[in-house]
Structure 1
């Protein structure tokens, strides 16, 4: 197996140019009856980083109510609101415009961080939350032993790349095969899942190998090469980042390094820390959910 993640067409063509992308994410809840009240948190606003600039963003609601915003413990921007009147449905629409730039390639890294430095960092407790297993990222003993056997002797970036390619080769992307509560170990045993599962498995393997790792929630523009003005149907996406002197991305679903097409919304230990929309309501016992994501390359 190759020790480096496959380079996609878009990665081969990436230059210093930035992409400007618009994201429109709409979530609609319809209750089987009336809801008398609800409290909600939305994590759909892209972050600011060295590789990403958020130029504009807004969250709209129907029915309309006041919003308040804050940054959570993990650095994700949260929009919160409560609806204290009868309603049969709730629609949340988040629209943002971002500019993205290429991520550094592992081969271009000026500083090769060795395992000793990573061990010192983890032993200091500075990244303890990203080294400790969670329910969704915990792996069983046989799989952990297999990870250590396979990546032993590799440097940190080689180990991460190997893990990405291994997962991508073993797992089948099958929408509906798993749910939001599925553990990475369960998805691995079935060898099927979606990006959330690929990411939980990757995080579990990276942590087993000795690399602090975190979950990234965001979006992926689905077309590798396109002219400005193209709008695509999309969906929320997830990938992983590992710490090796800095944070580096790893998209095991596609076996690529996150770059121009990846839009970061937030970070956490696992999916539960950065759910796009979560809330509670008082009223009808059943509800239906519809989600639409449209991504447009503007420039």
Structure 2
């Protein structure tokens, strides 16, 4: 077990004043099967009241409304997470994680990778879902180049893999596409990892009644250094912030920063 102190900050700057700003945040982790979260604090700028609920995937969702004109919007989420990957609690299986989603649906490029992985898996003797997922992770890692700016949040697994480059979100989507294509239930995770400077994405596969994490961007198993914020079928179920507002020809720029530090238990 590790005790991790975390902070996640996001700031939007608008080129002109905006009003009628309605937003939805998934920026704070909650207690779950592999972590206990305490002392969570979310500070908003400008100050605004938040309403909280838990979505159908179990992630904390906060919503708010800023009717007044403003040119900046941001938040800072802090807290402490006790992460214990050695004692992950059991969870009931949800069949939807067997099926492809909008961002993981494979085409010819991902389909070819599924074929390569299938051939490797057929050579394994007595492999379980976790063993098979490790093989898939290794193939995804070896076939990708980590290239910031090469994709957007709308890029699908097929589009990213066709160009063989992307970021953590794309690695996760491609691995999900292959796992699901080979019958391995899997889900997308958005969270925090020390050293990233921003949020990170990885996947989990369902094995022995538990969800086990794998990080294809780094080709390693998820350990106690990872804090889960949200999970779902793909990125669209785990967007940390989304909103709509009124404004006249407004552009926006975003700044984010994330930090995770280990503390003594």
Equivalent position to 2:134, from 161, 165, 172: 161
Q: Does 2:256 match 1:257?
A: no
Equivalent position to 2:203, from 240, 243, 266: 240
- Compared CA separation, residues 104 and 250, structure 1 to 2 (3 A): farther
Segments of 4+ moved more than 6 angstroms: none
Residue 16 of structure 2: aligned partner: 33
Gaps of 5+ in 1: 1-17, 106-120, 223-232
Cα pair 2:204 2:213 within 8 Å, conserved: yes
Equivalent position to 2:151, from 166, 178, 182: 178
Report the Cα distance in structure 2 between the residues aligned to 1:139 and 1:67, rounded to whole angstroms: 38
Q: Does 2:86 match 1:88?
A: no
Q: Which moved more, 1:280-289 or 1:211-220?
A: 280-289
Q: Across the two proteins, how many residue pairs are aligned to each other?
A: 253
Q: Which moved more, 1:204-213 or 1:239-248?
A: 239-248
Q: Give the drift of 1:28.
A: 0.8
After TM superposition, list the pairs within 5 Å mapping 1:205-220 onto structure 2.
205-220=178-193
Cα deviation 1:88-127 (Å, max 9, x = unaligned): 111211112111123479xxxxxxxxxxxxxxx9xxxx63
The structure richer in strand per residue is 2
After TM superposition, list the pairs within 5 Å mapping 1:107-146 onto structure 2.
127-140=94-107, 141-146=111-116
Residue 251 of structure 2: aligned partner: 286
- Compared CA separation, residues 189 and 103, structure 1 to 2 (3 A): farther
Equivalent position to 1:53, from 31, 36, 41: 36
Cα pair 2:35 2:84 within 8 Å, conserved: yes
Cα pair 1:54 1:99 within 8 Å, conserved: yes
Report the Cα distance in structure 1 between the residues aligned to 2:96 and 2:112, rounded to whole angstroms: 23
Question: Normalising by the residue count of structure 2, what TM-score does the alignment of the two structures yield?
Answer: 0.90
Q: Does 2:173 match 1:195?
A: no
Q: Give the drift of 1:178.
A: 1.1
Residue 58 of structure 2: aligned partner: 75
Cα pair 2:117 2:135 within 8 Å, conserved: no
Q: Give the drift of 1:153.
A: 5.0
Cα pair 1:103 1:257 within 8 Å, conserved: no
Residue 270 of structure 1: aligned partner: 234
Cα deviation 1:133-191 (Å, max 9, x = unaligned): 12211112434333323322542222101011111112111111111111111211222
CA RMSD of aligned residues (A): 1.9
Report the Cα distance in structure 2 between the residues aligned to 1:255 and 1:142, rounded to whole angstroms: 20
Cα pair 1:40 1:278 within 8 Å, conserved: yes
Gaps of 5+ in 2: none
Cα pair 1:147 1:208 within 8 Å, conserved: no
Residue 99 of structure 1: aligned partner: 82
Q: Give the drift of 1:266.
A: 1.2
